[in-house]
Homo-oligomer: A and B are copies of this chain.
Amino acid sequence: MTDYSVNKEVTDKYSLRGRVFHKLREDILNGKYEEHEELKEVAIGEELGVSRTPVREAFRQLELEGLIKIIPNKGAYVTGITEKDVKDIYMIRSLLEGLCAKLATEYITKEQLEEMEENIYLAKFHADKGHLDQLAELDNRFHDILYEACNSKMLEHQLKDFHQYVLRVRKKTLSSANRGPKSNEEHEGILEAIKAHDAQLAEQLANRHMINAYENMVQNGLHEIYANKDDNSSPK
């Protein structure tokens, strides 16, 4: 059956345009390009071995994702993520993950519950062993399950977008050794609340989980990753 569900993650990875899009997004998020650096159609095209057409279409998409800014007849410029952006994203995520957890108490399936439990169990193991990469992977997966469990394509999509967006930061953060286990404990709390169908508690814990993640990130020196001058975080 055809899936008409509203979904921005439709940019397929197999067309040239899709490949260009994903490649550029990754490169921008990974810091390959400086902020405000100009992206030239021919240069990108040559680098990836494609013509300007798919590059241009990818540009249009990146623009709407907010990763580049296109000035007509002039060029495309990387916008990047400021510290302020990261802060804002976590602020938003905090609310939405809370909503998501709340909804999950009602809609989560048995299978999802089981996978969550397994996830947490495994995470404990890897935390003991110091397997940071696996820990990060499990953390990603935990949140994905949660997103899928809220029974809302809209919310799921939003959260996945944000999740994706701060992936690089999160990776760094979880790698700070002591956050990993702490994060996993918080996951466990959320899971317990969901199992108990305690919507309010689940919301609250998921809420707090995001705030903690952000605060830990700040402590570990967010500024080193996103050394940015012209963010608009300064109040009047």
Residues of chain B lying within 8 A (CB to CB) of residue A71? 2, 10
Interface flag for A34 (CB, 8 Å): no
Contact of A155 (CB < 8 Å), options: B2, B53, B65, B92 = B92
A107 to B5 CA separation, bound complex (whole angstroms) = 37
* Most chain B CB neighbours (cut-off 10 Å) among A71, A99, A154: A154
Q: Are A70 and B236 in contact (CB under 8 A)?
A: no
Contact of A96 (CB < 8 Å), options: B95, B106, B230 = B95
Interface flag for A40 (CB, 8 Å): no
Q: Are B233 and A151 in contact (CB under 8 A)?
A: yes
Task: Please give the distance in Å from A206's CB to the nearest CB on chain B.
Answer: 13
Q: Are A99 and B107 in contact (CB under 8 A)?
A: no
> What is the total number of copies of this protein in its complex?
2
* Most chain B CB neighbours (cut-off 10 Å) among A5, A17, A89: A5
Stretch at the interface among A43-51, A72-80, A122-130: A72-80
Interface flag for A227 (CB, 8 Å): no
Number of interface residues of A (CB under 8 A): 58
Residues of chain B lying within 8 A (CB to CB) of residue A5? 232
Residues of chain B lying within 8 A (CB to CB) of residue A65? 64
Q: Are A154 and B89 in contact (CB under 8 A)?
A: yes
Residues of chain B lying within 8 A (CB to CB) of residue A79? 4, 6
Residues of chain B lying within 8 A (CB to CB) of residue A235? 106-107, 151
Stretch at the interface among A55-63, A137-145, A212-220: A55-63
- Identify 6 new A-B residue pairs, CB closer than 8 A, beyond the known A10-B69, A10-B71, A151-B235: A4-B77, A6-B66, A6-B69, A57-B57, A57-B60, A95-B99
Q: List 23 A-B contacts (CB under 8 A).
A: A2-B71, A4-B69, A4-B77, A4-B79, A6-B66, A6-B69, A6-B81, A8-B66, A10-B63, A10-B71, A14-B72, A57-B57, A57-B60, A84-B152, A88-B152, A88-B154, A89-B154, A92-B96, A95-B95, A109-B236, A151-B235, A151-B236, A158-B158
